[in-house]
A and B are shown apart, each in its own frame.
Chain A
Amino acid sequence: MLKGFWKLTWVETKVFAREPMGVFATLGVPVIIFLVLGRMVGADRVNSEPPPFNLPVLAALLIAVSVVISLVAVISIYREGGILKRLRATPLSPVTILGAQVVIKLVLTVIGLILLVLAGRQFFPGAMEVNLLSFTLALMLSTLSVLSLGFVIASVVPTARFAQPLAAALLYPMIAMSGLFFPVDQLPPVLGTLVQLFPTTHAVSLLLGVWDGSGWNAHWGSALGLVAVLVTCAGISTRVFRWE
């Protein structure tokens, strides 16, 4: 049923890697932001929360969001270029075609995280003490959840030219209101309720929790929130996704 899955994933990975600007925007930019902000706040305060905020969690979230924006771009470019339509005319199943993209984005997330940790250990020694396995899993779940929202965006926006800016315009404000910079309960009531629907809010809550070492048990609500967004958005996508 998933015939061609790994081959397609591998080909897609190579195709992605051949576009250096895309690779840099997805993997390099979050790390650079992390290093620059880290220098500004000082090495000893990189992972404090607050002041001013937890930088590694911000950078990790930026990685998640940038892979999602990359997904939205890829899907809408493929659709506009007729690539999705061409792939659908083969025996590849829809799950395979889109699943390959998800796998690539998850792998990129992990690579981005590895780069982040290496950079952090190099420039801010002592700031990256965290249960890495747990944090990686939390980031992957967060990425999956945001990816599902990305699929909804890619589904409803007709052209590639608008899809990528729109995804950025939605996702970056979501990070701003995610509770990373100021507590969510400081938001006006309506907005405070609204942000509970955003995957980023639950992602920040989970990632901060794992970073502090309090473990998943203390944050199952956040994990559940991410899963709820994932299930909802995946459901919406399967109804509204267009191949051409």
Chain B
Amino acid sequence: MPTPVIAVSHLRKTYGSTVAVDDVSLEVHEGEIFGLIGPNGAGKTTTMECVEGHRKPDSGRITVLGLDPLRDASALRQRIGVQHQEAHLHKRIKVWEAVDLWSTLYSRTVDTADLLNRLGLDTKRNAWFMTLSGGQKQRLFVALALIHDPEVVFLDELTTGLDPQARRVIWSLVTDIRSKGKTVILSTHLMEEAERLCDRVAIIEHGRVVEVGTPLELVEKHCPERRVVFTSESAGVADRFKAALGDHSVASDGATYTLQGEGEDFVTDVIHVLARQGIRIRGFRTEVPSLEDVFLKLTGHGIRD
């Protein structure tokens, strides 16, 4: 296993009597998109801010690119890019002014005109920050986070409050970042976002890591149930399925049948039975659990806004 880009062990951070992060350990590897997922207040942002070197942990060890985020803060700032949750800029700063200011702060920068072009902000160069839409603001923050060609990019709740289209644009930007070989660590409370973007996720709840893995692994491990729903006018469908598949639950509502089973092979088994028995069907769909179901199962409640 190569050395992780980010290694966190037993991180703990409290604010007075509030425990923001109780005990978080995780590793992020080079070139992956790693997601911290969990409800608001779970400790995602505090964890990220400690890793970025913006907060001093009460205890625990953190290394980023082999550096200590607090002790080596100035060296690290040249190598990481940060986008904060609910960030703002001066209301009346122009897009090009922000980009220009940021680019003077780093020893190495990318071609900013090209960067604005890629993020679709080239026509907004002279616009005041306050006149940008939510999606444009976030794209500007992505631009500012990428201006010095960082090796690791932190994106905190990047798409919160954006409409679906803007969200999709941002998602493709994030996968672009990975395709340039960078490591991305992002936090989100949108399970769909995590499932689409992240190579691996850590589920965080009450300041602790509940589970880590690829979205697929987590679904297979925690939610192996599969469900098949189809519609058929053929006679005795329920009995034929009970005979063929054993005690799997078969529920019917008129001509609509719902079969429930477990494991990878369940859907294939159902299709085989349909084919062998020559059952004619009109509609057919499968319901595979998502990361959302895993989250629900592991934490006992849904994500809340």
Contact = CB atoms under 8 A, between A and B. Distances in A.
Interface of A: 3-4, 7-8, 11-12, 14-15, 18-19, 78, 81-83, 85-86, 88-92
Contacts of B93: 11, 14-15
A4 B89 contact: no
B87 A11 contact: no
20 contacts: A4-B101, A7-B101, A14-B97, A15-B90, A15-B91, A18-B92, A78-B90, A81-B88, A82-B84, A82-B86, A82-B87, A83-B88, A85-B84, A89-B77, A89-B82, A89-B84, A90-B102, A90-B105, A91-B77, A91-B78
Nearest to A14: B97
A193 B223 CA distance: 74
Nearest to A93: B74
Contacts of B104: 3-4, 7
B92 A90 contact: no
Given A11-B93, A15-B93, A91-B78, A86 B101 contact: no
B284 interface: no
A90 B77 contact: yes
Given A82-B84, A82-B87, A90-B77, A8 B54 contact: no
Interface string B124-159: 000010000000000000000000000000000000
A83 B78 CA distance: 19
A88 B54 CA distance: 8
Contact of A86 (B52, B87, B92, B128): B87
Nearest to B81: A89
B13 to A, nearest CB: 15
Interface of B: 52, 54, 74, 77-78, 82, 84, 86-93, 97-98, 100-102, 104-106, 128
A86 B77 CA distance: 13
Given A7-B100, A15-B92, A15-B93, A91 B105 contact: yes
A18 B91 CA distance: 10
B92 A11 contact: no
A132 B105 CA distance: 38
Given A7-B100, A15-B92, A19-B92, A86 B84 contact: yes
Nearest to B145: A89
B83 to A, nearest CB: 9
Nearest to B82: A89
Nearest to A18: B92
Instruction: Output the residue of A7, A19, A85, A89 with the most chain B CB within 10 A.
Output: A89
A18 B129 CA distance: 12
Instruction: Output the residue of A14, A19, A85, A86 with the most chain B CB within 10 A.
Output: A86
A83 B74 contact: no
A4 B90 contact: no
A92 B92 CA distance: 20
A3 B106 CA distance: 9
